[in-house]
Amino acid sequence: MIISHKHRYIFFAIPKTGTHSVRQALRQQMGEQDLEQVGLFVKKRFPFPEFAGIQHGHISTRQIRPVLGDKMFGEYRKFAFVRNPFDRFVSYCAFMSRGGNIFETEPLRYMKYVIRELKPLDHLLYQPQHAMVTDAEGKLELDIVGRNETMQASYDEICAQVGMETTELERVNSSKHRPWQEYYDRDLVGWVSDLYRRDLELFNYGFE
């Protein structure tokens, strides 16, 4: 997460959506009083005691609102990037199987194992995206939603809305795999649809 007092925005870093590329670009225009919480590649922490035990930068709207207060939370522009859940699940499985060859040799079997047997519901990278950016009633708390699929265009638009110069995004920490559509059969499509149904509805995604 980045909180920019200079440009009056809050960037919510949803895991597996290209957050490191966005962070890297945003850092170029951060002011001296701006804050960042991150735990990979760069180690930075918020000066808030509420987050002293959190070692990553994936802070949700529900977590940060009471810390910043309703006034600042309401006045600052809030944005995040989202990703097609089918694509994101492939990326998650490729990332979690790094160091071995199971995903490369038997990707469908491994993906079915993850979603049907392993079920890592407590793992931050596996959890639905909407949980990070909605309130207790499920209402979206973002002003701008960028899309991983059109990342540069989305970033350009975000910069325009918050009054910053845009820059070219770089690829950072991306996993390597084939087009995500090639990894699915009918059963897996159904299981992923069930798990991420709210993401699919809220962000208007499908198996396309």
Query: What range does the domain containing 43 cover?
Result: 2-202
Q: What single-letter DSSP state applies at residue 116?
A: I
Asked whether residue 207 is domain-assigned, the answer is no
Instruction: Give the model's pLDDT for residue 173.
Output: 55
Q: What is the mean pLDDT of residues 30-40?
A: 93
Question: Measuring CA to CA, which residue among 3, 14, 144 is closest to residue 68?
Answer: 3
pLDDT digits (tens, 9 = 90+) for 150-171: 999 999 999 999 999 999 999 7
Query: Rounded CA gap, 141 and 195, in Å?
Result: 21
The type of residue at 97 is S
Asked whether residue 82 is domain-assigned, the answer is yes
Parallel, antiparallel, or unpaired for β 9-12 and 2-4?
antiparallel
Asked whether residue 136 is domain-assigned, the answer is yes
Q: Is 56 helix (H, G, I), strand (E, B) or coil?
A: coil
- 27 in Cβ contact with 20 (< 8 Å): no
Q: Over the Cα atoms of the chain, what is R_g? A: 17
Instruction: Give the model's pLDDT for residue 208.
Output: 77
- 14 in Cβ contact with 133 (< 8 Å): yes
Number of domains in the chain: 1
Asked whether residue 208 is domain-assigned, the answer is no
Instruction: Give the model's pLDDT for residue 76.
Output: 98
Q: What single-letter DSSP state applies at residue 47?
A: S
Instruction: Give the model's pLDDT for residue 43.
Output: 85
CB-based contacts of 12: which residues, under 8 Å, 6+ apart? 1, 59, 60, 61, 78, 79, 80, 132, 133, 142
Spell out where 6-160 has E strands. Answer: 9-12, 35-36, 77-82, 144-147
In the structure, what pLDDT confidence band is assigned to residue 174 with cuts at 50, 70 and 90? low
Asked whether residue 125 is domain-assigned, the answer is yes
Q: What is the mean pLDDT of residues 180-194?
A: 97
Asked whether residue 140 is domain-assigned, the answer is yes
Asked whether residue 187 is domain-assigned, the answer is yes
pLDDT digits (tens, 9 = 90+) for 86-108: 999 999 999 999 888 999 999 99
Neighbours of 151 (CB within 10 A): 18
Asked whether residue 150 is domain-assigned, the answer is yes
Q: What is the mean pLDDT of residues 45-68?
A: 95
Better-predicted residue by pLDDT, 173 or 36: 36
Query: Rounded CA gap, 155 and 6, in Å?
Result: 18
